[in-house]
Structure 1
Amino acid sequence: MQAFIGTGVALVTPFKKDFSVDIEALKKIVNHVIDGGVEYLVVLGTTGEPATLNQDEKEIVIETIIEANKGRLPLVLGVGGNNTQQVVEELKSRDFSKFSAILSVSPYYNKPTQEGIYQHFKAIAEAAPIPVILYNVPGRTASNMLPETVMRLANDFKNLIGIKEAAGDIVQAMKLIQHKPKDFLIISGDDMIALPIVLAGGSGVISVIGEGYPKEFSEMIRLGLNKKVEEAYILHYKIMESIDMIFEQGNPAGVKEIFKTLNLSENTVRLPLVTVNSDLANRLEIFTKNLSK
């Protein structure tokens, strides 16, 4: 589980201006985050816009990242959904030989009960050929996976190795840290409170801003893990304004604007997402250029 302590980044899927997948830009982004010092890569998480990719495009993204990574960092593949049987079928049929773990989001739209969430992940745990990281993001799924349900799953299935906790609730995160089994990972899914969660005993973060500014953000998390609190918070406050900005008009529109400033990719997103407006684009450009000075 040491592979997932520190900073993971949820990779975007860059598009050309004609909305096709930009393979060369994706390779550049992979090298950008690896050179920036992150610990692992998340492929086809929600930040990768998988909801608007067809199956062939998803395979292109997967193969491009595997090729660009060249075995340097552990890879996590997003495999989740609100059709439990469909997720189970993918887990049984896909080749996971290049991946170290699966990230699986709690079912969205259906709004299952806590028992429904438990049974969903029970089915996933029993089908998964590699370790699974749960993903709780109630702002997107419309249902919150409560700490009691997480702990029940963690104790019942040893291949459920951690949770990406993105409820935006530091108290809930602390309850998870307090009651978790010894080796179960509590991974922040919120960039703004990633450092406080790490200092409280969390294992790190799966980040969006860490993709734009991997050097600064991954170093902040490492300092936090080593309890170098003052140094970590210096970096936190240096980056903090940008965290609000990248989510101001939707994810991943904000971080793609950073990539445009860095000449890594276009800022193109697919509908129903749209690019950020000129005001936010200008603020992100100024912040990005000043950060690198």
Structure 2
Amino acid sequence: MTKFIGTGVALITPFKEDLSIDFDALERLVEYNIENGTEYLVISGTTGESVTVTKEEKKELISFISKVNNGRVPLVLGIGGNNTANVIDEIKSTDLSTIDAILSVSPYYSKPTQEGIYQHFKAISEASPKPIILYNVPGRTSSNMLPETTIRLAKDFENIIAVKEAGNNVQQYYELLRTKPDDFLILSGDDDLALGVALAGGSGVISVIGQALPKEFSEMIRLGIAKKAKEAYDIHFKLMPITGLIFSENNPSGIKAVLDGLDISKSHVRLPLVEATDGLKHKIAEELKVLGKS
């Protein structure tokens, strides 16, 4: 479990102008993050536009990132959905030999009860050969996995090792931290709250902005975990404006605009997403200047 303490980043899937995967840009992004202190990489999460990446492309992404990484940092793979049987089938049919854990989102659209969420993850736990990180993101799923459900799963299933909590609810974080088993990890899925969660006893973050500013963001989280609040908040306040900007329209259009400004990848996204507006791109460019990144 110590593999997942610190900063993980939810990698984008870079696209060329024709919307095919830009593997050269992806290699740059992976190397940039590893070289600058990111502790682990997350493949095919929401930020990776997983819903518009085909099954064959997902296999290609896993293979390519695994090859570039070459065992240097842990890899987490997003496998989730609102059809429990399909999630289990994907787990069983995917080559997980280079994957250290699965990130599985709480069921979306169907709006299951808390018992339904519990039974969904129970079935996934029993089928998975890899550790599982639960993912609660009610802003996208329209269903909040309550702390008591998360903690019940943590206590009942040994291979459920962590939760990426992205409810943007400070009180919910506190309840998870108050009631969790000692060996269960609370990972922030909210970049703006990540430092506060780390200072309160959280184990780190799965970040979006972190992949663009890995050196600064990962150091901030390490300082937070070490309870060095002043040094950590000095970094947090510098990163606040750009962190807010990347979520002002949609994710991952915002972070892709930042990475374009850093000459790592282009801003292209697949429908129904659209690129960041010119106005947002201008604001991001100005903020990168303030940060000394352009």
Q: How does 1:180-219 map to 2 (within 5 A)?
A: 180-219=180-219
Q: 1:32 and 2:32 equivalent?
A: yes
Q: How does 1:222-233 map to 2 (within 5 A)?
A: 222-233=222-233
Q: How does 1:120-131 map to 2 (within 5 A)?
A: 120-131=120-131
Deviation per CA, 1:29-70: give whole Å up to 9, x if none: 001111121100000011000100111111111111111111
Q: TM-score, normalised by structure 1?
A: 0.99
Q: Which residue of 1 aligns with 2:162?
A: 162
Unpaired segments of 5 or more residues in structure 2? none
Q: Which residue of 1 aligns with 2:11?
A: 11
Q: TM-score, normalised by structure 2?
A: 0.98
The structural deviation recorded for 1:93 is 2.2
Q: Which residue of 1 aligns with 2:238?
A: 238
Q: Which residue of 2 aligns with 1:177?
A: 177
The structural deviation recorded for 1:290 is 2.4
Write the distance in 2 (CA, Å) between the matches of 1:291 and 1:37: 18
User: What is the SS of the residue equivalent to 1:8?
Assistant: strand
Deviation per CA, 1:99-141: give whole Å up to 9, x if none: 1100000000000000000000000000000100000000000
What one-letter code is carried by the residue in structure 1 that aligns with 2:121? F
Name whichever of 17-26 and 91-100 sits farther off. 91-100
Unpaired segments of 5 or more residues in structure 1? none
Q: Which residue of 2 aligns with 1:286?
A: 286
The structural deviation recorded for 1:278 is 0.9
The structural deviation recorded for 1:292 is 2.6
Write the distance in 1 (CA, Å) between the matches of 2:150 and 2:26: 34
Q: Which residue of 2 aligns with 1:57?
A: 57
Write the distance in 2 (CA, Å) between the matches of 1:14 and 1:5: 26
What one-letter code is carried by the residue in structure 1 that aligns with 2:104? S
Write the distance in 2 (CA, Å) between the matches of 1:292 and 1:32: 17
Write the distance in 1 (CA, Å) between the matches of 2:8 and 2:175: 22
Q: Please tell me the root mean square deviation across aligned C-alpha atoms, in Å.
A: 0.8
Write the distance in 2 (CA, Å) between the matches of 1:113 and 1:161: 22
Write the distance in 2 (CA, Å) between the matches of 1:147 and 1:228: 27
Deviation per CA, 1:206-234: give whole Å up to 9, x if none: 00000111111000000101111000000
The structural deviation recorded for 1:97 is 1.1
What one-letter code is carried by the residue in structure 2 that aligns with 1:159? N
User: What is the SS of the residue equivalent to 1:248?
Assistant: coil
Q: Which residue of 1 aligns with 2:45?
A: 45
Write the distance in 1 (CA, Å) between the matches of 2:232 and 2:127: 39
Name segments (4+ residues, structure 1) moved above 2 Å.
none
Write the distance in 2 (CA, Å) between the matches of 1:222 and 1:56: 36
Q: How does 1:132-171 map to 2 (within 5 A)?
A: 132-171=132-171
User: What is the SS of the residue equivalent to 2:247?
Assistant: helix
Write the distance in 1 (CA, Å) between the matches of 2:289 and 2:121: 43
Write the distance in 2 (CA, Å) between the matches of 1:286 and 1:66: 34
Q: Which residue of 1 aligns with 2:247?
A: 247
What one-letter code is carried by the residue in structure 2 that aligns with 1:252? P
Write the distance in 2 (CA, Å) between the matches of 1:244 and 1:255: 11
Write the distance in 1 (CA, Å) between the matches of 2:215 and 2:94: 33
Write the distance in 2 (CA, Å) between the matches of 1:252 and 1:131: 26
Q: 1:96 and 2:96 equivalent?
A: yes
Write the distance in 2 (CA, Å) between the matches of 1:170 and 1:36: 29
Deviation per CA, 1:238-284: give whole Å up to 9, x if none: 00011110011100001101111111111000001001111110111
